[in-house]
Amino acid sequence: IFNSVRDSLALSVVVALGAAGSVTAQPGRLDGGGTVFNFSQPCIDGGWSGSPEAFSVRYHPPGVGNNGPHESISFIHNGHAVGFALYDGSFSSAYQNVDHGMMFSRPWFVAADSPDAAELRVIAMYPAVVTEATTSPVRIRGQIRHFAGIRWCRVNFDVIVQTRP
């Protein structure tokens, strides 16, 4: 039983962005894995070890499948999930506030318009544009500030995702 509407919404966001699902191909979804690393001191103070962490990754590019103008990326690890979504536009090289849903000991959600919003930027992506026809692996490197709901926790990520056949 959830204590608030926010917790219910957070669970919905986490499920939509990254919880385990079908192993069959789904239009607009790329699956893979990668590493979250370079944890800043606030991350370590917040309970992260500071060592690189391997994650399963799910990426939904904008304009592909049923994604509409939405773009999201989720990281799943040891029964935990952290998802980030931009609902109008694409990730860019500038930090952008994003909706941030998490499932750790309980669901958690921070809206993009909150003072505690996570900020995400993509440093490099190859290929730079993902379309319905993209079948090659896609490498995405970026940074996240306020990761996992921890103020000023900054991490880097490096992931490779691809569509399922």
Spell out the domain ranges in the chain: 5-19+29-162
Please give the model's pTM, rounded to 2 decimal places.
0.85
Between the CA of residue 42 and those of 47, 145, 153, what are the distances in Å?
Answer: 9, 10, 5
* Element containing residue 151 per DSSP (H, E): none
CA dihedral 109, 112, 32, 152 (to 10 degrees): -80
Please state, for a pLDDT cut of 70, what percent of the chain lies above it. 85
The yes-or-no verdict on residue 130 having pLDDT over 70 is: yes
Half-sphere exposure for 31 (CA within 13 Å, toward CB): 14
Mean pLDDT of the chain: 86
- pLDDT (0 to 100) of residue 7: 43
- pLDDT (0 to 100) of residue 23: 52
- Which tens digit of pLDDT belongs to each residue from 108-118? 899 999 988 99
CA dihedral 147, 152, 156, 162 (to 10 degrees): 30
Please state, for a pLDDT cut of 90, what percent of the chain lies above it. 68
